[in-house]
Structure 1
C-alpha cells in the first residue's frame, strides 16, 4: 500500500540491485554532461543523429530476443509493430506505446527493447508510432499523431476495448492527453492505460531529483519550451494532469521516489482517484526514471514490466466480460 492518501497501489522498498545502483550513480554524470553540452538546445541535426545512434543498442538487442517485428507506414505515420513470439493469427488486441524523450527525442527504435519485453510479458502485439517531435513540430503535432495512430488501429478492425495505451515519461503524459482528447471528441475509449514516470504537468517548476534520474530542471524546462511552442502550459492537452480527468479508463502508474517527477505523479494519481478513475500506483524505491526502459538490464525493470503486463491482461479480461454481459442483455 502507498503512504499517499487515497492511493491504492504497490510499493517495492527492497534493496536495489547492483545494476540499479550503478545506473543511479552514473546518471547524474550523464545528465550534467548533457546539460552543459546544451543537448536539448534546438540543434535539430545533432539531436536526430544522436537519436539514431542511441537507438542501435536497444534495437539490436530486441532483434536478437524477438525478431518478430516489422516497420510500417500507415496513413502517413511510421511505426513499429512488435509481436509476441507465441502470437498466431490476426491481431485481435494491441498496446499502443508512446515513447518518451521529452517530446523532442526518441523513436520506436530507441524504445524497441521495452516494447519487445512488454509484448512478451503481456502476450499482446505492441504498436509504437513515430510521432512528430519538437522543435520542428511543437504541440499539438504529437497529440494529433497519437490520435491518428489510435484511430488507425480501430479502422484496421481492433476494437477500442481491446486496446491499452501506454507510454513512458513524455510518452506517459502524451498517453494521458490522448485519453482526455478521445473522451472530449466522443471516441470510444481504450480498455486502460499504463504510464511509466509520466510527465503530465508542464506547468510546474520541478524540484531537483533526489539522488538520480535522467531529468534536471534546466533540461525539462528547455524541453517543455520546445514542445509548448506558442501554446500555453496550462492547456489541458499540454498538461493533462491539470485538466478534467473524469470518465477515463483504468490507469496503472509506475514511479520511483528517486526521480524529479515523483511528487507530480502522486498528485496526478490523487486527482484521478478523487474523480472516480480506477488507478493503481506501483512505487519504486531508489530506481531510475522510466524504470521499465532499462529492461532487460535491470532486474527491477523486468519486474516492473511484469506488473504492467498483468494490468494489461486484466484490462482485456474485464472488457471482454463486460462486452459478453452487454451482448447477453441485448
Structure 2
C-alpha cells in the first residue's frame, strides 16, 4: 500500500507510511471486478441493478457491522439507517450519503464502514436513503439531503457537531448539500468527507478514459447512462449537479480520498485544487493499489482500515475545534 497526502499547491506529492499493497488487496481485485464491478458496469435497468448490487455486496460480507447498533431512522420524511456506537453517548453526527450514480445504492451497503467510523469517533452515522433516478431525477436527492440536514439541526445538534460524508455520487451529493446549505443561509457542517467523489457530470476529466484499464468498478459508458437518468437534458455544469464547477468560498474543511487508478481520479484532483483556491482547507489523500470506494470494506481490507482511521482522525480534529 502506498498512501500519501498531496498539497494541491505543490505538484510533488509527499508520501507517508509507504507499504506494499496488501495481499488481501491483490486477492480481492479480481473478485471486485467480477462482482460489484460487473453490476456497476452493466446496462441492466436500474431497478435490477439495485437488487444485483445488494446481492453482490452481501456476497462480499459488507453488511457486518461490528461494534455498532443499527436501527431504522426516518429524518424529515427520508428513510434511512442510524448507526450508533456501543456504550457511548454523543450528539456528534456524520450524515453519510451513499454512492451509486444517483440511480442505485442503498444505506445497508455501508453499515460495516459506518460502524467502524462510529466506533472510532464515538459519533452517530446517519445513512439517508435519498430518492433515486430515474424515478426521482435531480434535484430530488439533493432536496432530501438538505431536508435531512435541516432536521438534524432542528433536533438540537449544532452545526459544529455535524459532518457530511459520501462516496462517488454520494460524495458529490455531500458537496452539493454543503453548497445548497450555504446558499440557503444555513451554517456549514464542521467538515466534509468525500470518498472518490463524482464532481463532474460532464465526464471531462482525463482519467475517465485514461484510467479505464485500471478501473475495477465503473465504466465511462455507464457513467453516461447514470448522468442521463439523473439529469436528462438539464445543464451538466450546474454546480449543484456537478460540484466541480461551484464557488467554494465559505465551505467546510474537506477530506478527499481517492485511488490513483480509478476513472474518477481527476474529479478529486480538480476539486481539491478548486476548493483550495477558494480558501478551503483541503486534505487530498491519493492511494495506490486500491479501487473505487475501497473504504467500504473494513476488516476485509487493511487499506480500508487505514483509510477509515484517517477519516476518524480528520473528523475528530474538526469536531473538537
Taking structure 1 as the reference length, what is the TM-score of the superposition?
Answer: 0.87
- Return the structure number with greater helix share: 1
- Cα gap change, 1:224/1:188 in structure 2, threshold over 3 Å: closer, same or farther? same
Q: CA deviation at 1:159?
A: 0.7
Q: CA deviation at 1:265?
A: 0.8
Provide the C-alpha distance between the structure 2 equivalents of 1:143 and 1:45, rounded to a whole number of angstroms.
20
Q: 1:247: which partner in 2?
A: 250
Determine whether 1:155 maps to 2:158: no
Gapped runs of 5+ residues in structure 2?
A: none
Q: 1:145: which partner in 2?
A: 144
Q: 1:326: which partner in 2?
A: none
Contact 1:13/1:285 (<8 A) preserved: no
Determine whether 1:22 maps to 2:27: yes
Contact 2:112/2:298 (<8 A) preserved: yes
Q: 2:51: which partner in 1?
A: 49
Gapped runs of 5+ residues in structure 1?
A: 319-330
Provide the C-alpha distance between the structure 2 equivalents of 1:9 and 1:311, rounded to a whole number of angstroms.
18
Q: How many residues align?
A: 311
Contact 1:31/1:215 (<8 A) preserved: no
| Equivalent runs, 1:1-330 vs 2, <5 Å | 1-2=5-6, 4-6=8-10, 13-30=18-35, 33-34=38-39, 37-39=42-44, 43-54=45-56, 56=58, 58=61, 60-62=63-65, 65-66=66-67, 68-88=69-89, 91-205=90-204, 206-207=208-209, 208-318=211-321
Greater displacement, 217-226 / 298-307: 217-226
Taking structure 2 as the reference length, what is the TM-score of the superposition?
Answer: 0.89
SS at 1:47's partner residue? Answer: helix
Contact 2:113/2:295 (<8 A) preserved: yes
Q: CA deviation at 1:215?
A: 1.0
Contact 2:96/2:165 (<8 A) preserved: yes
SS at 1:246's partner residue? Answer: coil
Contact 2:37/2:216 (<8 A) preserved: no
| The structure with more radius of gyration | 1
SS at 1:179's partner residue? Answer: helix
Superposition CA RMSD, Å: 2.2
